[in-house]
Structure 1
C-alpha cells in the first residue's frame, strides 16, 4: 500500500530512496518534509522518494485514486492502515482495478487524554498544511513534465474523515497562498467530506473551505446529527469560545451560500448502527459486513462522476432506511 506522510521517521529526517522507514510515534510535530512510502507488511515500510512513488501511482492498473485523510488521535497501525485496507477491500469487491486507496498520514498525538489530544492534533492539522501543500506542488510539477502520450489519466478523489477535513482545507489554503497566483486548479473528481470536524460555514463564500469546492468537480458532505464524537468536539470548541456547529453534524449551514457542486448527504439513519456507540466512522461496511449506504453513495459518485440527491434544487440526500420510532408497527 502506497502512502504519504509528514510524520518524521526514526533516524535521519533526510529522504533516502529505498531505505526502511520507521515512524517516530513519540514526535507529533509535523515535519516540513514529505515522505513518500510503501507499506509492504504490518510495521514494515520503505521510503521511495516522490518520483518513484508517483511513477508507481501512474503505472497502477486502477482507474481512480482515493487519498484517504484520517481523523484525530489515529496512529498508523492500530487505526489508519487497517481502515484503509478495509476501504480498499470494499472497492475491490465492487470492481477489479477500480480504485487505489492511498493514506495521507499526518501526526496525531501518542498520549492519553482525549481533550489534550484534540487540541494538540488540531494544531498539528493546521501545521501539516505547509508540507502537504508542497506535496501538491511536487505533483503539479511532475504532471507538467509528462509528455502528451505519457500523461497520467487517473481520476483523483479525496476522502477526508473527521479532523482530516481540517488538514484538507488548510492544505489547499496554504497551497493557494504560497504557490498559486490565480486560485486552485480543478484537480479532484470528488471530494468526500465525512463527519467533518470543521465549522459548518466553512464551504461558504469568504471562508477558506470554499477552495475545496473550487478544486473539485463534486463535494459531498456526509453528516449525522447524533455523531457522538462530534458532540464531544463541539463541547471542546465551546470551551475555547468557538460556538459554531460542526459540518459533520448538520451539513452546510446554508446551502444557498455554497457553490452549486456542493451536496449535503444525511447519514443520520444508520451512523450509530454501523459504528456503535459513537456513530462517527460510518463510511465503510454496514452492520452486517456488507457495503454501507455511505460507501455505496461514494462508489456511485466515483463511477458516474455525478452525485445522487433527492432534490436537485436543495442538493440534499437522505441515505438509508429510517429508524422505527416507539409505537411504530
Structure 2
C-alpha cells in the first residue's frame, strides 16, 4: 500500500530511496519532512521517494485515486486497517476503480481523550505544512518532464476523504499552500472531497472562511454529519475547556447552506452512524452493520467517485438524508 507520512522514522529523517522505514512511535512530534512510502507487508515498509511514488500512481491500473486523511488518536496500524477496509469495499464494488492512499500524520493515543484530543489538534495544525509540501511535489511532478505532460499526461482523477480531525489537517494545508506557494488561490485539484464527521467549526466551510479553499480546490465537496456522533461530543468538551465555543461541522453540517459555495453538499447520516459504528457513531463511512459489507454512506461516497456527481437525479439538490435500508 502506497502512503504518505510526516511521522518521524527510527532511521534518519533524510530521504534515502530503497531503505527500510520504521515508525518511531515514541515520537509523536510532526516532522517538517514528508516521506513517500510503500507498505509491502504488515511489518515491511520501504521509502520510495516522491518521483517513484508519483510514477507508481500514474502506472497503477486503478482509474482514480482516493487520498485518505485519518482522524485523531490513530496510530499507523489503525490507519492501515481503515484504509485496507475501504480499499476492500471499493474492490468489491468495482475492480481497478479506486486506489486508496492514506496520509499518516502523528497522533497520540496514550492519555485521556480530552488531553489527547488537544495535543492532536496542535499536531494537525503543524502537519498541514508537510501535506502542503506534498501538494507542491505533486504539482511540480505533474508539470515536469518526468511526467511528460504533453505526450503522456497523467489522467488519474484525484479525490480526497478527510475524517474527523483530518479535516483540520486538510483545511490548514490548503491555507499554507495558498499562503506560501501560490500567487492567489488554489488550483482545482480534487474531483470530489468528502468531509466525514468533520472536526472543524460548522461555519468554517462558508465563503470567506478558512475552509472555503477546500471548495475552491474541488469540483464537489460533500459534508457527512450526524448529530449523535459521540466522538465529536468529546471534541466539543475539549474546545469548551479551551474557551472555543462552536458546533462542529460533523455534528450539524454547514451552519448556513446559503453562505457556502455552490459546490458544497450536506448529507445527514443520523439514521445509520450508530448502527455502523457502535457506540461512538463516528467512523460510519466504511462497512455497514456487517463488517466487510458496504454501508449506505460508503455507497454514496463510491457513486460520487464513480460518476463525479453528488445527486445526479437532481442537479439543484444540495442536501439529503441517508435513510436506513436493507444492506446487500
Shorter-normalised TM range? over 0.9
Is contact 1:25-1:110 (8 Å) kept?
no
Change (3 A) 1:115 1:18: same
Residues 24-49 of structure 1: CA deviation (Å, up to 9, x unaligned): 11111111111000001113100001
Unpaired runs of 5+ in structure 1?
Answer: 323-329
Tell me how far apart the structure 2 counterparts of residues 50 and 6 of structure 1 sit (CA, whole Å): 13
Contact 1:67 1:104 in 2 (8 A): yes
Distance 1:274 1:130 in 2: 33
Instruction: Spell out, residue by residue over 1:72-117, the C-alpha distance to the aligned partner (whole angstroms, 9 max, x if none).
Output: 000011x100110000000001111001000000010142221111
In the alignment, is residue 302 of structure 1 matched against residue 305 of structure 2?
yes
> In 1, distance between residues paired with 2:309 and 2:13?
42
* Partner SS state of residue 107, structure 2: coil
State the distance in 1 between where 2:175 and 2:43 align: 33
Check the 8 A contact 1:271/1:281 in 2, yes or no: yes
Conserved in 2, the CA contact under 8 Å of 1:26 and 1:110? no
Alignment deviations for residues 169-220 of structure 1 (CA, whole Å, 9 cap, x no partner): 0000000000001200000000000000000001112211000000000000
Matches within 5 A, 1:94-173: 94-145=93-144, 146-147=147-148, 148-173=150-175
Residue 9 of structure 2 corresponds to residue 9 of structure 1: yes
In the alignment, the residues of structure 1 paired with residue 118 and residue 324 of structure 2 have an alpha-carbon distance, to the nearest angstrom, of 36
**2:76 counterpart residue number:** 76
**Structure 1 position 23 matched with structure 2 position 26:** no
Q: Once superposed, which parts of structure 1, at least 4 consecutive aligned residues long, lie more than 2 Å away?
A: 309-314
Aligned mates of 2:212, 2:96 — CA distance in 1? 32
SS of 2:227's partner is coil
C-alpha deviations, 1:130-155, integer Å up to 9, x for none? Answer: 11111111110000013212111000
Distance 1:309 1:292 in 2: 20
2:237 corresponds to 1:235? yes
Residue matched to 1:214: 216
Equivalent in the alignment of 1:326 = none
- Aligned counterparts of 1:126 and 1:196: Cα–Cα separation in 2: 15
Relative to structure 2, which stretch is displaced further, 312-321 or 261-270?
312-321
Which residue is 1:93 aligned to? 92
Q: For 1:23-42, list aligned pairs within 5 A.
A: 23-42=23-42
TM-score when scaled to structure 1?
A: 0.95
